[in-house]
Amino acid sequence: MQTDVLIIGQGICGTFLSRELERAGLSYVVIDEERSLTASRAAAGLINPVTGRRLVKTWMIDELLPFAQEAYRQAGEELGVSFLQPARVVDFFPTPQMRLAFLKRVEESGEYVGLPEDEGDWRDRFSYDFGYGWISPCYLVDMQGLLAAERRRMAETGMLRAERFEHEELLVGPVGVRYRDIEARWAIFCDGIESSQNAYFSRLPFAPNKGEVLVVEIPGLALPDAVVFKKGMSLVPWKDGLFWVGSSYEWSFADAGPTAAFRERTEAILREWLRVPFRVVEHIAAVRPATLERRPFVGFHPLYPAVGILNGMGTKGCSLAPYFARQLVQQMVSGVGIQADADILRFRKVLGRG
């Protein structure tokens, strides 16, 4: 079988890479083992324009936000389902200092942030002492719905092989690759944290980061609009009327599974924070493909130009993946360069050691 591109992994990166390849008229085959939970499938799906305690604008958000809006709109139009929902974040101030920092941010620039007319309007459902501010516009992506819909489409059209990828069976030549019966011009790894272990990209500065999440039912918090609540942790409308609660950021961990300590700690926080009952439905965990620089890995290997990567999105995959999937395909089609601080050629020396 001959194809233009062999894609390894069908998370958010593999999904948008496949869409961009179709736009460019390139053929592809995706190899992705059927797994119920991956970093993409465990993600909250929140696109937030500000980040951190200093409330700085998320990297490249002015470019990423409109691009993501259009990318998800097109996906929904083609698949017949809407995957993107406008939302706002209600950011409860955990301390007086955080309140002052937010007020300063509003005074300096009201872009993406503001204050409510009545800071007490959530007190019937939440306990908080220092008021809140809002962040908008934000967006919620139905990650599980999008990935499932694209997977069905790939399977129906014969573009998906639901099997484990065996690295030792990938044969790389100067102008193409071969994997079992597949011959392709390029192989591109979109397989999340697994790329940190393969022979081509293990030298990239991945920083595996484990996140744990509780999925909870909160009948007393049903709202007509999408509102994300934040106070140390985030409470995000997720699926089937449930809420995603988390997430942890663990740089050192013994295994990738859920822990009793996280569940106990998070339930205690919820009992203190919520004034309405909740019930834990599920406890999940996954390892994110984060990077030391907090910048994605995009591009082709300096020694093996037929082997590429679209990975390292960390917690920002919903906004980064559509944008950099297009950049990668534009480089393949027309030679247009990838943005320098995302291009893996910034690690040319370490990757070029052979």
149 & 184 share domain:
yes
16 & 130 share domain:
no
Q: Compute the Cα dihedral for 123, 126, 132, 134 and give only its sign.
A: negative
pLDDT, position 354: 58
Residue 224 lies in a domain: yes
Give the domain-ending residue among 288, 315, 334. Answer: 288
Residue 52 lies in a domain: no
336 & 347 share domain:
yes
Q: Distance (Å, rounded) from C-alpha 234 to C-alpha 310?
A: 27
**Prior bond of 136 cis (ω within 30°):** no
Domain of residue 131, CATH code? 3.30.9.10
Please, are residues 220 and 125 in contact by the beta-carbon 8 Å criterion? yes
User: Which residue in this structure is represented by tokens 């089937």?
Assistant: 240
Please, are residues 88 and 136 in contact by the beta-carbon 8 Å criterion? yes
125 & 223 share domain:
yes
336 & 214 share domain:
no
**Prior bond of 137 cis (ω within 30°):** yes
Structure tokens at 193: 């944290």
279 & 149 share domain:
no
Tally of structural domains, the chain: 2
Q: Distance (Å, rounded) from C-alpha 135 to C-alpha 99?
A: 14
218 & 102 share domain:
yes
- One-letter-per-residue 3-state SS of the chain: CEEEEEEECCCHHHHHHHHHHHHCCCCEEEECCCCCCCHHHHCCCEECCEECCCCEECCCHHHHHHHHHHHHHHHHHHHCCCCEEEEEEEEECCCHHHHHHHHHHHHHCCCCEECCCCCCCCCCCECCCCCEEEEEEEEEECHHHHHHHHHHHHHHCCCEECCCCCHHHEEECCCCEEECCEEEEEEEECCHHHHHHCCCCCCCCECCEEEEEEEEECHHHCCCCEEEEEECEEEEECCCCCEEEECCCECCCCCCCCCHHHHHHHHHHHHHHECCCCEEEEEEEEEECCECCCCCEEEECCCCCCEEEEECCHHHHHHHHHHHHHHHHHHHHHCCCCCCCCEHHHHHHHHCCC
246 & 160 share domain:
no
* Nearest residue to 169 (alpha-carbon basis) of 177, 161, 160, 180: 180
pLDDT, position 242: 94
Residue 77 lies in a domain: no
Residue 106 lies in a domain: yes
Residue 59 lies in a domain: no
Structure tokens at 163: 């099997």
- Determine the length of the chain: 354
* Nearest residue to 265 (alpha-carbon basis) of 253, 281, 241, 283: 283
Q: Domain range spanning residue 235?
A: 86-136+207-288
129 & 224 share domain:
yes
106 & 217 share domain:
yes
**Can you give the pLDDT of all 354 residues of the chain as single tens digits?**
999 999 999 999 999 999 999 999 999 999 999 887 788 888 889 999 998 777 889 999 999 999 999 999 999 999 999 999 999 999 999 999 999 999 999 998 889 999 999 999 999 999 999 999 999 999 999 999 999 999 999 999 999 999 999 999 999 998 999 999 999 999 999 999 999 999 999 999 999 899 999 999 999 998 878 999 999 899 999 888 899 999 888 888 888 899 999 999 999 999 999 999 999 999 999 999 899 999 999 999 999 999 999 999 988 999 999 999 999 999 999 999 899 999 999 999 999 875
219 & 281 share domain:
yes
Q: Distance (Å, rounded) from C-alpha 178 to C-alpha 184?
A: 6
Interval 257-295: pLDDT, tens: 999 999 999 999 999 999 999 999 999 999 998 999 999
* Nearest residue to 166 (alpha-carbon basis) of 184, 203, 193, 191: 191
Residue 310 lies in a domain: yes
Interval 317-347: pLDDT, tens: 999 999 999 999 999 999 998 999 999 999 9
Residue 158 lies in a domain: yes
Give the domain-ending residue among 267, 288, 309. Answer: 288
Domain of residue 321, CATH code? 3.50.50.60
245 & 198 share domain:
no
